[in-house]
Every structure is written in C-alpha cells, then in structure tokens.
Amino acid sequence: MSSALYQSIEMLSREKSIDPEIVVGAVEEAIALATRKYYKTQENMRGELNKETGEIAVYAYKTVMAGEDDIEDPVNQITLEEAQAIAAGAELEPGSEIRLYKDTRPLGRIAAQLAKQVIFQKVREAERDTVFNEYAHREKEVLSATVKRIEGQDVIIDLGKAEARMPKREQSRLEQFSIGERIRVVLLKVDRAAKGPQVIVSRAAPELVSNLFQSEVPEIYDGTVVIRAIAREAGERTKIAVMSRDKDVDPVGACVGMKGMRVQSIIRELRGEKIDIIEFNEEITTFAEKALQPAKVSRVSIVDLSEKQLEVIVDDTQLSLAIGKKGQNVRLAAKLLGWKIDIKSEEEKRQEVEQQMGGFGAGQTTPIEAVTELGETIIQKLVAAGITTVESLADMTPEQLEEIPGIGEKTLERISVAVRHYFGQYEEGEAQPQAETSPSQEAIATEEDEPGTPDQPVEEATAALSAEHEETAAAETMEAENAADPERAHPVESEETEPVHEANPEATLEETEFAEEAAIDGINENEREGQGGE
C-alpha cells in the first residue's frame, strides 16, 4: 500500500498532467539540497523516497580511489582502505561508489521551507515542459476552449490541459466574452520561456475563417473547392479567394450556399463581420479586378513585375468605393494578391499622361537655323534678341515679336508663315514643298511642264499657247507706246531720293531675272530711238 505522501504526489501529478516520477524526483532533490545546506557541506547527496513507508533517506556518495596520491577532491573521494573499513565485507574496487547515511531528523523549519520552494519550482518546470510538448506542434490549429477569466484587456482561456492567453490585439472588436463561454480559438504560438500562461491564442487570425468554412462547406472539406488566399481585418471585413477543382462546381456559390445559409452561419460566429468571397484566377490582372469588388475597375496594368506592383484605373465615381473606408478595401485586396496596388481615377491618369507628354516635349529643342524660310537676316535679328530655338519662337506672341528691333508687319507675317510651314501646317491653296532637286533636274522639269508635252492634256496645252500669244501681243503694244512717248519710257526721278525696289520674297529666281532683262532691253531700245531722232 502506498504511503500518504506518495498518494499526494500522484494526486498532484494528475492535476498538473505531469508524470509522478517527476514529482518524486523533485521531492528527493529538495530533501538532499536541504540536508546539504544544514550540514554546510558540498558533498554529493541524494535523497531516496520509500513509496511504501513514505520515509525519505539522504545519502552522501563518494568515489573510491586506490590510494592517497590519487585523491583530488577529499570531500567527494575516499581511499580504498577507508572505504573497506566503513563497509566491511563489501566488494569494493577503485572507481566504485560508496554511500554514507545522513541523518535528516535534525532538519528544522528553514530546511523544510527550502525543500518546499525547490519542489514547487521543479513542478512548475515540469508543467511547462508538458504543456510545450503538448501544443508546440499544433500551431495554427483551431481549438475549442472555455473562457476562464478576464484579466484587464486579456482573456484567459482554458484549453483543458493548460491555460492560454488571448491578448487584446488578437481579439475582434465586435466580440464581448463572458466567463464560461465556449469559443473556438486559433493556437498562435507557444512561448516556452514565458512566465505564467505560455500559450497564445487568437480570434483574429485568418485560420479561424478557413476552419469555419471547412466546417460549413462540404466541398471545401472534401477538397473539391480550395481556399487559395485569405485577407482579414478582424471585426471589419474578410476577403477569401476560392477556386474549384471540378469545372461543374461553382466555388463562390458553394461557399455562399442556398439563400446564403452557409456564409450567414459563419458571419454569426464572427459576430457580424463582413465576408467577400472571390473566385481565384491565375491571371493577376483579372484577379485584381475581382479582388477590388464591389468597385468596378476600368483597367489593370502591371507596373513592375519583379517588385509585384500593379496600377489600377477606375472611374472617377468608383474611386472612393475602390479605396474603401480608411483604405480598407484596397488594403485587403493587396494583402489577398500579395502585390502592391496603386489606384488612380481616370482624371488623375489623364493629368499624369499630360504632364509626362509636356515634360517629354519640353526636353526637345530645335535650333532656329532649321527654319530655312526665315532667311539669314531675320535669323540674325532673332538670335540677337535671345531667340535661339524654334520652340521659343513658336511660343511668342506677335506683340512680343514686334518689340524686336528691325521686325515690322511684313517680317512678322513672313515669320508666321515660315513657322507654320516648318511644323507642316499649310493653309488651303498653299503649295507644299517637294523634295530638293538639282538645277539640271529643275530645268528638265521646266521643259517637261511646257504646254504641248505628251504628258499634259490637250486642253491644258491649248490654253497655255493662247496665254503665251496674249502676253507677246501685250509686250509689243507696250513697246510701241514707249516709242511714241520717250518720257514715258524714261520717267524723271528725283535726285535726292533713289527708287527703292523692294524684293518680293515669294517671287522665284526665274521671274526676277526675266524682269531685269526686259527692263534693260527697253532702256537700250529707247536710247537707239533717241539717237536716230537727233
């Protein structure tokens, strides 16, 4: 029959869920330590509990050595001769141990208190080891537990074999707990070095939602529908992405259930937390559009594949809905996808594109010498005024150009036409320039363009010949009038002023040479007629 002491040890072991031998070892070690302290010695002492009688005996153990020269620690070592004198008839040899009985009857209250503290410490360590071995491999597992008590903002949970703590950060703001209430919690982690309850549980972990769906949806339990991702903000909203391995099974419909019965049961368990069920898609852009529901997305583009960054464009009226309250919708969507999401409205994107285009255009400049129609004189005046690029010239107003010295209305008009032509803007009736040709090519082209060539129609050739005859007749009439009136041929000019012939910038080189030759011929003809009259 076991002693009363050993029966108490067994009762304590069952209560703490630890091995009775661990408690027995703690008691023996505590008595040995108290005895060593009482005798004020460093001898190696061990206690032994008699389970039948309940008595605890303490012995000092010493190692047997061959002779005096071999002893290094006189406290824990003894010579073979001395050992044989103590234990007569015992078979002793060097290296064996001999034990010496120590009387524990003189131990008083102080020694008993020390033994008690040692026993409690050993029992607590054994309890922690037992709890750690029980729950260390069960992290992220959902457990059924009971609310035991509330300490401040933390809730102490009874797991059956151990107590667990649920901090405030691991609680849903929608939940209020009462003592004795049965709840489901997620085993978050086991802290071996912590004091007190070392198991941390949570009601805010996504694994709780996953476990609830497995319990309520048979298709998820048997593997037909798979949960690919969960993003949760406890007490606010949860987004869950599901996909079906059977093409005939709708994953979203299976999770919602008939008239929403399945998902409503989960919502009640979570105290009214909103749940968005989304169909998973391997195409990230399509998955992003669904993840941002209920907002309607215009388009999604991948900005940086290595950094996993997306740009989402939504209508101006959908921007606030896509972002959500305090950014909750886009935050959950980014967590669900595992990508960074940048949401912009259509107006914001348009302004961004305009700024980029403006910056791109501002970076390119063209020297003003590229506008060949301006002429060297006008270009020199513009450069002297600080205008060196075509872009700066195009941005100036006519009033600003008129302030430049040497630029009047005609020059201003010429600048305007030259700039328009440079940018390819021609008004109706203006001839656009052709590719540059050599003088010989121009002469050939002129001969080919004369009336009567085979390439031209007959009507155009006839009209051109008639016009040429009319010009010849007009020239002969003019020469006859000049012969009749010499003064008309030689008008009297003022000596103070010289006639100024303003060049027509639009006149061609051939027309100018033709006019100068006609004038010289007319003057020579008049001089001959005057000499003949004299």
CB contact set of 203 (below 8 Å; sequence gap of 6+): 166, 170, 171, 172, 175, 183, 185, 186, 234
Q: Buried (b) or exposed (e) across 45-77, using 16+ Cβ within 10 A?
A: bbbebebeeeebbbbbebbbbeeeeeeeeeeee
Name the token pair of 508.
Answer: 């061609």
- C-alpha pair distances (Å), 26 with each of 42, 370, 435, 514: 19, 100, 108, 130
> Distance (Å, rounded) from C-alpha 395 to C-alpha 382?
14
Longest CA–CA span in the chain (Å) reads 183
Long-range contacts of 371-377 (CB under 8 A, 24+ apart): 371/418, 371/419, 371/422, 373/414, 373/417, 373/418, 373/421, 373/422, 374/414, 374/415, 374/418, 375/505
CB contact set of 442 (below 8 Å; sequence gap of 6+): none
Q: In 3-state terms, the chain is what percent helix, strand and coil (to 5)?
A: 50, 20, 30
- Give the Cα-Cα-Cα angle 428, 433, 435 (nearest 5 degrees): 150
Q: Nearest-CA neighbor of 289 among 256, 315, 314? A: 314
Task: Measure the CA dihedral 249/252/253/257, to 10°.
Answer: 120
Residue 445, helix vs strand vs coil: helix
CB contact set of 43 (below 8 Å; sequence gap of 6+): 36, 60, 61, 62, 75, 76
Strands (E), 103-224: 142-151, 154-158, 163-166, 182-190, 199-202
Cβ proximity of 214 and 255 under 8 Å: no
**Torsions phi, psi of 279, nearest 5?**
-80, 130
For residue 276, how far is the Cα from the chain centroid? Answer: 22
> Distance (Å, rounded) from C-alpha 140 to C-alpha 206?
10
Asked whether the whole model's pTM tops 0.85, one would answer no
Q: Nearest-CA neighbor of 241 among 227, 253, 220? A: 227
Name the token pair of 7.
Answer: 């029966």
Cβ proximity of 229 and 241 under 8 Å: yes
Residue 243, helix vs strand vs coil: strand
Cβ proximity of 518 and 510 under 8 Å: no
Q: What pLDDT sits at residue 484? A: 47
Tokens 């050599």 correspond to 438
Strand-pair partners of 344: 313
Q: What is the pLDDT along the chain (534 residues), one digit of tens a residue?
A: 467 878 888 888 888 778 888 888 888 888 888 888 888 888 888 888 888 887 888 888 888 888 888 888 888 888 888 888 887 777 788 888 888 888 888 887 877 888 888 888 888 888 888 888 888 888 888 999 999 999 888 999 998 888 889 999 999 888 888 899 999 999 998 887 656 567 899 999 999 999 999 999 999 999 999 999 999 998 889 999 999 999 899 999 999 989 889 999 999 988 889 999 999 999 999 999 999 988 999 999 998 989 899 999 999 899 999 999 889 999 999 999 999 999 998 888 888 888 877 655 555 677 878 877 878 888 888 888 888 887 778 778 888 888 888 888 888 888 888 887 777 665 555 555 554 444 443 443 334 344 444 444 434 544 544 455 555 555 555 554 554 454 444 444 434 434 444 444 444 444 444 444 445 455 444 444 444 444
Name the token pair of 432.
Answer: 């656009």
**524 membership: H or E segment, kind and range:** helix 509-533
Pinpoint the alpha helices (H) of 218-345.
218-221, 251-256, 261-269, 284-291, 319-323, 328-337
> Distance (Å, rounded) from C-alpha 393 to C-alpha 369?
12
Q: If 0-12 CB within 10 Å is exposed, 13-18 middle and 19+ buried, where does residue 284 land?
A: middle
DSSP summary character for residue 403: T
